[in-house]
Amino acid sequence: MADNNQNPHECPDTGHEWDGIRELTNPPPRWWSIALYLSGLLVLVYFILYPSLPLINDSTKGILGWTMIKEYKEDLAKVEARRAPFEDKLAEMSAQEILEDEELRNYAIGSSKVLYGDNCAACHGTGGIPNEGAGYPILADDDWLYGGSIETIMETLASGRQGMMPAHRAMLTDEEVDGLVQFVVNSSNGEATEAGWQLYNSKGCVACHGADAKGVRQMGSANLTDRIWRFSGEPDEIRHTILHGVNDASNPETRVAVMPGWNEKLAVKLDAQKWDEEPEYDGTETERLSETDIKKLAVYVHQLGGGE
């Protein structure tokens, strides 16, 4: 049997012995002891430099005065310092100018993603594609109710939109409603009949949806000649729109389609600009998003769909 009780360093014996195994007093290896003392020292240094001992309401501060929240705030300040030159430029430029400057455009698009997610995605969906049948327009296509120029998008965001189509149930006979539903279905397939057009014209649809039924942007009336549906292309749903209208407050079954406004002050300013006037504020205008944020979002929406 091997002798497991070798004692090459001739260390003294502690006198303990179990089953023939003797306990000696040889010291641990030097590297090990140094590491032990160093780690003790490190604890002491850490203890002095950083917050360590918990007290009743607080803790010891450490001579560096470091705190996690302070570090976070410093990092945040660094990010903001890097953004500041961009933000300052955006504040002074028009949305059109931002669109034309590649660097600023990319910055605006990048920083809009959070803004869009926080304020718009609930209705318009991520990436501008809402849930089907939710009743919100797709922003990621080049079919526009109100228009896809950067100025029009700015107006849409600043003042909001609320297209209005009156309920027609009291104005039309059952046959006329059937005929108009058929007309809308046919028209979306490019197969509208002469009789259908006559009905469309004589019942006043033409006044809002236009002579070619492609919609009128000043009113946000939908294009009836394509298969991009604002609400739905199902005959029953088309019938519902015709009977009960859109945003017609006098009809409880009306479709509701409200795009909230985000900056009334900017809305007044943009409106005045159109007429080359000085904006007149009455002091009650709300600003849910800053003008700069709206510019960023307008640039973002413009590049999402086919901006014009």
Q: How many residues bind ligand HEC (CB under 6 A)?
A: 49
Interface positions, 29-48, toward ligand HEC (CB under 6 A): none
Q: Which is nearer to ligand HEC, 98 or 145 (CB)?
A: 145
Query: What x-and-dash track marks residues 137-156 binding ligand HEC by CB under 6 A?
Result: x-x----xxxx-----x--x
Nearest approach in angstroms of CB 201 to ligand HEC is: 10
Q: Which is nearer to ligand HEC, 101 or 237 (CB)?
A: 237
User: Among residues 37, 73, 36, 66, which one has the least CA distance to residue 49?
Assistant: 66
209 known member of a binding site: yes
> What's the half-sphere exposure (Cβ side, CA atoms, 13 Å) at 213?
23
240 known member of a binding site: no
Is residue 304 a contact point for ligand HEC (CB under 6 A)?
no
Report the alpha-carbon distance of residue 74 to residue 79 in Å, rounded: 9
Q: Rounded to whole angstroms, what are the CA distances from 32 to 27, 28, 36, 105?
A: 10, 7, 6, 59
120 known member of a binding site: yes
Residue with tokens 């849409």: 156
Is residue 259 a contact point for ligand HEC (CB under 6 A)?
yes
Is residue 168 a contact point for ligand HEC (CB under 6 A)?
yes
CA torsion angle for 85, 88, 91, 92 (degrees, to 10)? -100
Is residue 166 a contact point for ligand HEC (CB under 6 A)?
yes
302 known member of a binding site: no
124 known member of a binding site: yes
Interface positions, 79-138, toward ligand HEC (CB under 6 A): 119-120, 122-124, 136-137
Q: Which of 140, 185, 208, 272 touches ligand HEC (CB under 6 A)?
A: 208
Q: Write out the residues near ligand HEC by the rule CB under 6 A.
A: 119-120, 122-124, 136-137, 139, 144-147, 153, 156-157, 161-166, 168, 180, 184, 203-205, 207-209, 219-222, 224, 229-231, 238, 241-242, 246, 257-260, 262, 297, 301
Binding residues: 120, 123-124, 165, 205, 208-209, 259
Binding residues for heme c: 120, 123-124, 165, 205, 208-209, 259
